[in-house]
Amino acid sequence: MARYDKNRLLLFKLEANPGTDANPAAASDCILFVDNFDPTPIDPTYAQRNIQFPYFGASQDLLAASCSRVKFSVELSASGVAGVTALWGPLLQCAGFSLSTGLLLPTRVESWPLSRYLKTGTFYFYDDGVLTKLVGAMGSVKLTAKHKETPKLEFEFVGAYSNPTAAANPTAALSLWKPPAAVAKANVSQDITLGCSYAAGALTGGTTFGSFGIEVDLGNALKYFTSNSSERAEITDRDAKCSFELELSEAQEVQGAADIFANTTTSLGFTLGSAAGSKLMLYMPMIHRRGYKKTNRDGIRTHTFDGCTVLPKSGNDEVVLIQL
C-alpha cells in the first residue's frame, strides 16, 4: 500500500531537562508548517577504514555518530491577545532566543537573543505510519517579511537520532494557529525606519522609507557535538545578517553611499500590524550596510542592501522581536 507525503504531522515541545524526551502531544503541541518541510531522519558520520586491497574496490566505513535534522517554516502570525505569545514562541526559544512574558507595560512579549542558558526541545515527526523523534534539538531561524507575501519564520533544527518506529498518525489539533497578515500597505503600520530607537514597545525617531520588506537571518553556528561520553546539539556563536530593498531620493542615495564608505552603522525598526494582539515589531540597534545595488521594481528605481551585518550593541541585543 502506498504511503502519502501529505499524511505527515510535526509536534514540538520544549524540554524541562536538556536531552530528555518532552513527549509532545498532538492535542497541544502541533506545528502548522508551510513551504520547505525537509526532514533528514539520519545524518550519519562515518569512520573511514581505507583498506588497501590488492585490487580495485571500496572499503566499508563504520558508523561513528549520527543525528537527525529538520527544516520547515511557520507563518509569522500574532496570537491575537496582547501579552500572549504566538505558538511559534517556544520554537524561537529553541533557536537561541528568550521569551519574556512577564508583567511588561505596555502589555507585550519580547524575544532577545541569548548566549547562555539555551533551551532544547523534542520533535515528533509522524510520516504516514512511521514516527521519528529528534530529542535535545537546537536550531537557527530566518525571518522573512517580503512585500505581497505572508511573513514567515524559517527554522532549521538538529537533534539526537532515534530509531524510527511504526506509529499511526494522531489526530492533529491545529486550530489555535492564527493566520498572518500579508506584508502589504494596509498591514504595515511602520515601514523600515533607519536611525530609530526602541523602548517599552515603541519605536521613536529615525527616517522611514518605502520598502519591499526585510529578511533577517540569525545565523546561529549550529553544531552536533560528539565525544566518547556525549552527543548533543549546540549553538556556539551567531552571525546575523539582514537584507532589504528601499526607495531612496537622490539625497538619500548619496547619503547612504557616504555612510557605507565611512563604515557608519544605523539602527533599523519595522512594524507589521496595528491592533493590540496582532502587532509584530522588529528592532535591530546596529546594522552595518556593506554596500548596495541599484534595482528595478516595475520600472521604479529601488536600492537593495544585501548581507548587512547585524551587530550587537550592548550584547545579546542584535535582533529583538516584539509581540504587541
User: What confidence score (pLDDT) does residue 173 get?
Assistant: 93
Tens-place pLDDT, residues 192-231 = 999 999 999 999 999 999 999 999 999 999 999 999 999 9
SS3 256: helix
Q: What is the mean pLDDT of the chain?
A: 95
Is the CB of residue 146 less than 8 Å from the CB of residue 242? Answer: no
* CA quadruple 250, 253, 259, 263: dihedral, nearest 10: -160
Tens-place pLDDT, residues 271-304 = 999 999 999 999 999 999 999 999 999 999 999 9
Is the CB of residue 193 less than 8 Å from the CB of residue 268? Answer: yes
Q: What does residue 162 show for φ and ψ, rounded to 5 degrees?
A: -140, 150
Greatest Cα-to-Cα distance within the chain, rounded to the nearest angstrom: 76
**Residue 269 counted as domain residue:** yes
Domains identified in the chain, total number: 1
Range of the domain at 221: 8-44+65-323
- pLDDT band at 235, cuts 50/70/90? very high
Q: Which three cell numbers stand for residue 67?
A: 543525528
CA distance 221 to 196: 29
**Residue 55 counted as domain residue:** no
What is the number of residues in the chain? Answer: 324
CA distance 148 to 270: 16
Tens-place pLDDT, residues 259-278 = 999 999 999 999 999 999 99
Over 80: is that where the pLDDT of 60 sits?
A: yes
**Residue 2 counted as domain residue:** no
Strand pairing report for 265-272 and 231-238? unpaired
Q: Mean of the pLDDT values across residues 31-56? A: 93
**Residue 54 counted as domain residue:** no
**Residue 284 counted as domain residue:** yes
SS3 248: coil
Q: Mean of the pLDDT values across residues 121-128? A: 97
Partners of 224 in the β-ladder: 233
Q: Mean of the pLDDT values across residues 41-48? A: 94
- pLDDT band at 1, cuts 50/70/90? confident
- pLDDT band at 105, cuts 50/70/90? confident
User: What confidence score (pLDDT) does residue 35 get?
Assistant: 77
pTM of the predicted protein model:
0.94
Burial 291-320 (b: 16+ CB within 10 A, else e): ebeeeeeeeeebbebeebbbebeeebbbbb
**Residue 137 counted as domain residue:** yes
User: What confidence score (pLDDT) does residue 65 get?
Assistant: 92
DSSP annotation string for 80-114? SSTTS--TTHHHHHTTTB--B-SS-SSS-EEE-B-
- pLDDT band at 101, cuts 50/70/90? confident
User: What confidence score (pLDDT) does residue 34 get?
Assistant: 93
